Chains A and B, each alone.
Chain A
Amino acid sequence: KNQVEQSPQSLIILEGKNCTLQCNYTVSPFSNLRWYKQDTGRGPVSLTIMTFSENTKSNGRYTATLDADTKQSSLHITASQLSDSASYICVVSEGTGGFKTIFGAGTRLFVKA
């Protein structure tokens, strides 16, 4: 069964600190992996996308990595800000014609002053 698992479930850090969120998947065949940020009460917004041949992608203070061999991805946030408080969702798309996407449960990040 295709699955996407994220850890930790929630995380509290102090403003200015770095953090890393994890995503493990069992989706096959693999097409791409995307990290979304979802602010409370809003829809998710795409941060990064990586295909099979890419192992890192940056978007400002957000850096995602992908190890397609071990089927693991991470999202690293540098110098966290209060506005980074949100849920971060890992989404993996199947490499089939239907482009089915599997959502992780998300990591809830709280950045405190």
Chain B
Amino acid sequence: EADIYQTPRYLVIGTGKKITLECSQTMGHDKMYWYQQDPGMELHLIHYSYGVNSTEKGDLSSESTVSRIRTEHFPLTLESARPSHTSQYLCASSDLAGGNYNEQFFGPGTRLTVL
């Protein structure tokens, strides 16, 4: 069982609200990721980080933003949620040093529904 946690697990909110999805890991991993996944579809990388104060955009454009102030914490924020943001958001982490061949450990995900 991976030591990576996401909260909330489920979130239903109205359009225009600001939300923050939390992700924390206790494995001391430097690299962290956020993926967006629609039901039955593939994962799309939207943000990643190499370490503290490092954030990069992923392959899929996203209106969300991320921050990395502490190694173990990588929150994702949507300033104004819209129905098009409805999806599952998965957080992951890996050892930047290449240990275990860069295996990514995933959290349980946050299922976001914007009405």
Q: A residues engaging B (CB < 8 A)?
A: 31-32, 34, 41-46, 49, 51, 87, 89, 93, 99, 101, 103-106, 108
> Residues of A contacting B66 with CB < 8 Å?
none
> Residues of B contacting A101 with CB < 8 Å?
102, 104
Q: B residues engaging A (CB < 8 A)?
A: 2, 4, 40-43, 88, 90, 92, 94, 98, 100-109, 111
Task: Decide if B106 touches A44 in the complex (CB within 8 Å).
Answer: yes
Task: Decide if B42 touches A45 in the complex (CB within 8 Å).
Answer: no
Task: Decide if B106 touches A105 in the complex (CB within 8 Å).
Answer: no
> Residues of A contacting B108 with CB < 8 Å?
41-43
Residue ID in chain A nearest B42 by CB atoms: A105
**Shortest beta-carbon distance from A21 to chain B in Å:** 15
CA distance A89 to B42 in the complex (A): 9
Task: Decide if B42 touches A106 in the complex (CB within 8 Å).
Answer: yes
CA distance A101 to B108 in the complex (A): 20
CA distance A78 to B33 in the complex (A): 33
Task: Decide if B109 touches A34 in the complex (CB within 8 Å).
Answer: no
**Shortest beta-carbon distance from B28 to chain A in Å:** 17
Task: Decide if B42 touches A51 in the complex (CB within 8 Å).
Answer: no
CA distance A68 to B103 in the complex (A): 20
Task: Decide if B42 touches A34 in the complex (CB within 8 Å).
Answer: no
Task: Decide if A43 touches B92 in the complex (CB within 8 Å).
Answer: yes
Task: Decide if A99 touches B109 in the complex (CB within 8 Å).
Answer: no
A49 touching B103 in the complex, CB below 8 Å, given contacts A43-B90, A99-B98, A103-B42 = yes
CA distance A31 to B2 in the complex (A): 23
Please give 11 more A-B residue pairs, beta carbons under 8 A apart, in addition to A43-B107, A49-B100: A32-B101, A41-B109, A43-B92, A43-B108, A43-B109, A44-B90, A46-B105, A87-B40, A101-B102, A104-B42, A106-B42
CA distance A101 to B98 in the complex (A): 13
Task: Decide if B102 touches A93 in the complex (CB within 8 Å).
Answer: yes
CA distance A105 to B101 in the complex (A): 21
CA distance A78 to B17 in the complex (A): 48
